[in-house]
């Protein structure tokens, strides 16, 4: 439905005043001028009720972008009516994280003629962001009346977590005479080697691992991990109470970025990657089919109002029960009982523990719960690092996964 603009309403008001004055003093010419001032915006309002017949196609390239990277949105508008459209003004509705709404002027289109418009968006907030619908406004040449029409249809832009390149860990030649696998790199400085198992009849005696045999009192042999069959579990703490700070500078966004960076590294080294959250169902670690699958999951992740990290304990327990492999956890402070349940898991477990005190603006203080978590996990055989604001993911990773270690 059309509406009068501020100018149109002013014309009507002025026309009524002039016409009333003309009738009061008996001047027909003045009354006619007043009537004309009233009729003009009403006629414009009648013309503005005609809705342009437009077909709108929206494309987004690329549809998936990392944080702070641009994406181009192209709108194709086609006049599917039998009349030429007037000059139109358009405004695209955008999610708040994508910035200001783009405003455009559309040229007049002949019947079945099309035109294209392109604008660029960029977001510093990960997630799925909606683009559209498009609101089109038509006004008369004098700007007295206008009509707004919302054309349904929208597109989606997925903004992925920031990924930092990580060094250290295995090369792609691991298991074929090259560097050691990532889990064994960590176990060399941990308490036990998950690539060692008990001797079975028929095993090659040359594969006996004498240090483990001496330590356990049982005959132990080394088993190789084959490329493409190495396992890894990555757990992110999604409890809202385990984090502090807001937006991109908060600990939760650091945790998401760290998780994405670790997963990216593990996929590059042909690990079978499982991803779990600390509040998910116990043992519900989902296998990630591709790196894109994992990044899409992390793009959607939001903090959960839960205090118990049942998913973390269950996922780690089930993962180790089904075989050896690397565990990487990005955590906030854990309850003492959860730390105790994670004990005895072996040397292939690493944890990046976020210090809430720093993210709350108290950089000189130490969060007591964080300190206890670091101490208990360290005593349980985990390799740990405390994460404060400003610490790069790559630097934290380098502290828990030493480079240059070979078997």
* CATH topology identical between 54-160 and 182-400: no
Closest CA to 138 of 38, 46, 40: 46
Closest CA to 233 of 333, 337, 350: 350
State which of 215-219, 280-284, 403-407 shows the largest mean pLDDT: 215-219
- Give tens-digit pLDDT for 123-134: 999 999 999 999
Task: Look at residue 189 in the predicted model and tell me its pLDDT.
Answer: 41
Q: What b/e sequence results for 24-40 when a residue is b if at least 16 CB atoms lie within 10 Å of its CB, and e otherwise?
A: eeeeeebbebbeebbeb
The Cα-based distances of 265 to 184, 188, 345, 397, 404 in angstroms read: 16, 20, 23, 11, 16
Task: Look at residue 298 in the predicted model and tell me its pLDDT.
Answer: 97
Residue with tokens 């960590």: 186
Segment holding 149, helix H or strand E: strand 145-151
Q: Which CATH number fits domain 54-160: 2.60.40.2580, 3.30.70.20, 3.40.50.2300, 2.60.40.10?
A: 2.60.40.10
- Give tens-digit pLDDT for 153-192: 999 999 999 999 998 654 433 333 333 445 554 444 444 4
Residue 221 has pLDDT above 80, yes or no: no
Q: Return the minimum-mean-pLDDT range out of 21-25, 183-187, 195-199, 385-389.
A: 183-187
Task: Look at residue 254 in the predicted model and tell me its pLDDT.
Answer: 98
Would you call the peptide bond into 308 cis, given omega within 30 degrees of 0 as the criterion?
no
- Give tens-digit pLDDT for 327-359: 999 999 999 999 988 875 555 899 999 999 889
The residue extents of the domains of the chain are 2-48, 54-160, 182-400
For the chain, state the CA radius of gyration. 32
297 Cβ contact partners less than 8 Å away, ≥ 6 residues apart: 275, 286, 288
CA 253 to CA 251: how far, in whole Å? 6
The architecture in CATH of the region 182-400 reads 3-Layer(aba) Sandwich (3.40)
Q: Which 3 state secondary structure label does DSSP give 282?
A: coil
Could you tell me the pLDDT band of residue 193, with boundaries at 50, 70 and 90? low
106 Cβ contact partners less than 8 Å away, ≥ 6 residues apart: 77, 85, 87, 88, 89, 90, 115, 117, 136
* Residue 23 main-chain phi, psi, to 5 deg: -70, -30
What's the start-to-end Cα distance of the chain, in Å?
Answer: 76
Q: What is the largest CA-CA distance in the chain?
A: 122
**Is 388 or 213 the better-scoring residue by pLDDT?**
388
Closest CA to 148 of 279, 52, 32: 52
**Is 307 or 122 the better-scoring residue by pLDDT?**
122
* Residue 228 main-chain phi, psi, to 5 deg: 90, -10
- Give tens-digit pLDDT for 75-118: 999 999 999 998 899 999 999 999 999 999 999 999 999 999 99
Task: Look at residue 259 in the predicted model and tell me its pLDDT.
Answer: 98
Task: Look at residue 188 in the predicted model and tell me its pLDDT.
Answer: 41
Segment holding 263, helix H or strand E: helix 251-268
């Amino acid at each position: 439905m059309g509406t009068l603009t501020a100018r149109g309403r002013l014309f009507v008001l002025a026309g009524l005043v002039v016409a009333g004055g003309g009738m009061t003093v008996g001047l027909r010419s003045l009354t006619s001028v007043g009537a004309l001032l009233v009729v003009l915006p009403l006629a414009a309002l009648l013309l503005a009720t005609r809705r342009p017949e437009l077909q709108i196609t929206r494309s987004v390239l690329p549809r998936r972008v990392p944080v702070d990277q641009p994406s181009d949105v192209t709108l194709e508008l086609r006049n599917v009516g039998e009349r030429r459209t007037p000059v139109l003004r358009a405004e695209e509705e955008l999610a708040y994280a994508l910035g200001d709404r783009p405003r455009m002027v559309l040229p007049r289109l002949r019947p079945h003629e099309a035109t294209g418009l392109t604008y660029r968006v960029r977001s510093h907030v990960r997630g799925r962001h909606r683009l559209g619908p498009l609101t089109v406004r038509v006004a008369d040449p004098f700007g007295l009346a206008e009509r707004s029409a919302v054309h349904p249809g929208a597109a989606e832009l997925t903004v992925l977590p920031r990924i930092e390149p990580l060094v250290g860990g295995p090369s792609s030649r691991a298991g074929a005479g090259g560097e050691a696998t990532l889990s064994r790199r960590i176990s060399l400085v941990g308490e036990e080697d998950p690539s060692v198992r008990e001797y079975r009849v028929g095993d090659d005696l040359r594969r006996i691992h004498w240090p483990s045999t001496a330590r356990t009192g049982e005959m132990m042999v080394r088993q190789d991990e084959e490329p493409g069959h190495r396992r890894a579990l990555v757990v992110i703490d999604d409890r809202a109470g385990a984090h502090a700070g807001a937006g991109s500078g908060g600990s939760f966004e650091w945790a998401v970025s760290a998780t994405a960076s670790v997963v990216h590294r593990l996929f590059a080294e042909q690990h079978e990657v499982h991803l779990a959250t600390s509040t998910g169902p116990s043992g519900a670690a989902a296998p990630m089919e591709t790196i894109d699958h994992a990044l899409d999951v992390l793009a959607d992740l939001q903090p959960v109002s839960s205090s118990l990290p049942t998913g973390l304990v269950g996922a780690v327990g089930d993962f180790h029960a089904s075989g050896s492999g690397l565990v990487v956890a990005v955590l906030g402070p854990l309850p003492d009982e959860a730390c105790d349940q994670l004990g005895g898991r072996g040397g292939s477990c690493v944890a990046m523990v976020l210090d809430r005190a720093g993210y709350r603006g108290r950089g000189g203080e130490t969060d007591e719960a964080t300190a206890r978590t670091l101490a208990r996990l360290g005593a349980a055989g985990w390799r740990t690092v405390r994460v404060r604001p400003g610490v790069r993911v790559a630097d934290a990773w380098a502290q828990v996964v030493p480079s240059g270690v070979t078997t």
